[in-house]
Chains A and B, each alone.
Chain A
Amino acid sequence: MSRHDVIVVGIGLAGLTAAARLAQSGARVLVLAKGVGATHHSGATIDVLGYAPDRVEHPGEAVDALVSERPGHPYAAVGASGVAAALEWFQGQVAAGPLAPYAYSGGLEENLLLPTAVGAAKPTAAAPVTMTRGDLRDDAELCIVGLRGLKDFHATLAADNLARAGHRTRSVELDVTPPSGSRVDATPLAFARAFDDPGFRAEVAAQLVNRPTAAERLGFPAVLGIADPHAAWADLEHRCGRPVFEVPTLPPSVPGMRVFATLRDAVRRAGGKVILNAVVTGARATGGRIESLRAHIGLRETDFGAGWVVLATGGFAHGGLELSSRWTVRETALGLPVSGVPGPGEPRFRSDYLADQPMARAGVATDAELRPLDAGSQRVYDNVLVAGATLAGAEPWREKSGDGISLATGYRAAELIRPAPPAAAGPVHTGAEA
């Protein structure tokens, strides 16, 4: 049986953050994950707190206010300072990562206000520099650029809704075909690969120059390159002669893939190991400590010895939590107690889709050191920490808080396991503005 200082279960933003940060501190880290998922679904903006319930302008202050009001919220374990530290680390990873000089900009002082693919204005704390020129707090006129073969981005609809909210916006649709995709139905990834090619960018810019688009800035679907997105974006700005920004599309998300590539690279560079298609099915424990995890890998069951376990398997959306047809909720990897589940006779969901949904806050409750608690508030295991969407107490979509929670609790879990700052982690830069 192989032995690892830390086994991280799950490879979304929380798991990757914990794994990279731990590996950089010198721990021998193994990541076991069923498959990639959460990052590829995410728009890759770092939403820390967008609504509480009114629109949040200063996320740092608002996080602390939220924590004092809702001590069961995952942010209680980290506070605004914990979010700030994690965000700074994350921005450093991206800026020093394989896609550099691709970088994130933003922070906890003020939320950016970025347009979505349907034309809403979404508050977010940080975003790739390829997106931030779309900030709607700036009143420069926008032109949203659609690509005919990309069905997951409707430029005229987004532009119309932005205009309704008072932002001067127009739209244009280009007929360009990525060489590796169908002319009428190409995926975001096919377009992203095409945008890595200067010839394709030249074609796009040429089509735009021939259109009456005098707008001061251009918003594209977030498909501007996957291998070298910074070059693709900067070159497009240069060719179009005005600021360009990306707007996230429906999944699969190209900027989400960039986050995944960046953090997985950080894990590997620091000596961490990643096994995909590994489903954790149980654990062996003695005296309140997990000794080893058992995982299904392919057709085999394998045991992995663990000093520590970081559980970051996600919530209901990604299989970390599961509601059975008998209406019981299970934490799927370790069978940890789940709190916040509506009791028998209480509504699990409300009939109004956009209402507060009782089941949304279900998850694993922890103490301030992210250790899972049972119904009597006793630690279940001393060496298990829980991070990300598995945690109880948040409504990440309504709050626009999911990225911040995953990033900050993943980072905090790593710090709790390895408090000493790393000597061998290599240079870490702080979030460079592009």
Chain B
Amino acid sequence: MRTEVLVVGGGGTGAGVAWDAALRGYDVVLVDRADLAEGTSGRFHGLLHSGGRYVVKDPVAAVECVEENAIMRRIVPDCIEDTGGLFVTTPDDDPAYGDRFLEGCRTANLPAEEIPVTEALRREPRLNPGIRRAFTVPDASIDVWKTVWSLARGASAHGARILTYHRVIDLHRDGDRVAGARVRNELTGEEFDIEAGFVLNASGAWAAQIAHMGGIEGVGVVPGKGIMIAMNHRLVNTVINRCTMPADGDILVPVRTVSVIGTTDMKAADPDEIPVTQEEVDQMLDDGERLVPGFREARALRVWAGVRPLFQDTKAGAVADTRDVSRTHAVVDHRERDGVDGLLTMSGGKLTTLRLMAQDLVDAMCAQLGDERPSRTAEEVPPGNEDGELYDIGSRLRRREDTLQEEQLICECELIGRGRLEETLRRRGSTNLDDIRRSLRLGMGPCQGGFCIYRATGILHGVGRLDGAEATESLRRFLQERWKGMWPILYGDQLRQARLDDWIFQGLLDVEHLPDGATPPAFAAPRGAHE
């Protein structure tokens, strides 16, 4: 396989890079070792930053957020809910920070306004009534899977090939130049080479590992682990931030049907080893209690950890507290740094600024190639966002009501009809129920797949995609995957739900005694056919 540009990594940055480069007319191949947005991008809290989080501590990052927040609302409106945000001074916070916060917002050109506490409590009645100050900001929540798939589909429409479940196992060197990569199809085991004019390393927390394959050492990306918990229902309808220096458990984001609290920040030695600990869960629940009294009595659905790719100057030595590392991004220029052509690495950054990161990376490539092709991503709208309407929480229910009598409801929690499920199975060509979960939110509601996953397995099998052995394996894998995100936070009603699900899968269906499964074929449709 040959391409002009090989993008390594299919998170927000990689998809953004593929979209940006494809729009500039480059021939693009994107590879990811797993599904799109399965790494860091799919494991964050869903906040489209206004920039308020950074105005005091990291003004450069704040300004980037202000600008990119506005652009993202324009180009991927269908992925964004305009929740608005509040910064609140809890009884544990210093009210004087609010003045520095407002000053920082003015400097960053961020439209923030102090409102009376009574007004904040009127808007968000569950908020801690002991808050002392409140400020409005244009925070929003963003559906990362929709965003990344929209960008990837846009790139595909411009000729890019998106290869999920393709792991880079080596970078090819041709003297002082990186000339491509050897990749392995993780589902079939097949290995092959991709010859590339240029390799763009957008693998986030894994960037140092990828660079290392090209013989480049010491790329300063520090994996910073953070955990998040999705709470059932929207405890708040506005993004709630603690008005203080960035700390743990200080953001509560309403995303679709849940609210997500985040996050912690711990340096991780290995981005693939990020277990959730009991202490972290307890800390997060206590932090939630500070924002919304009674938080601990609310129902926790799922917990997960992600790893931020924080940028670190290699010459500055070890970083103790990853929260002190800038949240802005940097292009690592391997020509300058290592005398190696044909490779650039993106380091640092955050989902809110993914478009800018992509633009900067492709700009740097154009500069090396001496190509004058300006980015168009600030204006072009990727697929699914053409009507320019921001997403609103009632839209899925509205669509569902329209087809109530004509379509079987497969997932009651997330209102997914059979037609939409079958269409997604077709379009994605995937046989992995976890991939389908990310595309549709199937099984992400309160019952965590207790009912819909049997149905989805039956449909996947019934439409001829999988035989019984493969369907069985697919079902078991999904059950294991959901359990991974549930067991550390099982208590209260969610434990009750989990036991009911056990009743169904073990007591009623006896899935554990089905004959052995077989590894499902990766894709039933031709590869790269994500139209």
Contacts and interface: CB of A to CB of B under 8 A. Distances in A.
B496 A319 contact: yes
A149 B506 CA distance: 25
A117 B479 contact: no
Interface residues of A, number: 56
Interface residues of B, number: 53
B461 A120 contact: no
Given A184-B408, A325-B296, A353 B507 contact: no
A372 interface: no
Interface in A66-122: 116-122
Nearest to B461: A157
Interface stretch (A209-217, A300-308, A394-402, A406-414): A394-402
A351 interface: yes
A397 B461 contact: no
B406 interface: yes
Interface stretch (A126-134, A161-169, A200-208, A263-271): A161-169
A120 B491 contact: no
Contacts of B491: 323-325, 327
Contact of A325 (B297, B418, B509): B297
Nearest to B297: A325
B496 A316 contact: yes
Interface in A158-181: 160-161, 163-165
A266 to B, nearest CB: 24
Nearest to B450: A250
A157 B492 contact: no
B492 A323 contact: yes
A118 B503 contact: no
Contacts of B418: 151, 184
B512 A157 contact: no
B513 interface: yes
A154 B454 contact: yes
A400 B508 CA distance: 9
B524 to A, nearest CB: 16
A389 B45 CA distance: 38
A204 B492 CA distance: 44
Interface in A288-324: 315-319, 322-324
B207 to A, nearest CB: 28
Contacts of A163: 468
Given A160-B471, A165-B515, A154 B500 contact: no
Contacts of B513: 51, 55, 120-122
B480 interface: yes
Contact of A149 (B408, B475, B490): B408
Contact of B512 (A317, A318, A354): A354
Contacts of A318: 496
Contacts of B415: none
A340 interface: no
A136 to B, nearest CB: 12
Interface string B284-304: 010000000000110010000
Q: Which of A327, A352, A396, A397 has the most CB of B within 10 A?
A: A397
Interface string B264-306: 0000000000000000000001000000000011001000000
Nearest to B300: A325
Contacts of A119: 468, 514
Interface in A24-57: 41-43, 47, 50-51, 55
23 contacts: A42-B507, A117-B454, A119-B514, A122-B513, A151-B418, A154-B454, A154-B458, A154-B461, A157-B457, A157-B458, A161-B472, A163-B468, A165-B514, A182-B404, A250-B504, A317-B503, A319-B496, A322-B496, A325-B297, A351-B487, A352-B483, A353-B483, A397-B506
Given A117-B454, A118-B475, A397-B506, 16 more contacts: A42-B503, A120-B509, A122-B513, A152-B451, A152-B454, A154-B461, A160-B461, A161-B468, A184-B408, A323-B491, A323-B492, A348-B490, A349-B488, A353-B483, A359-B495, A397-B503
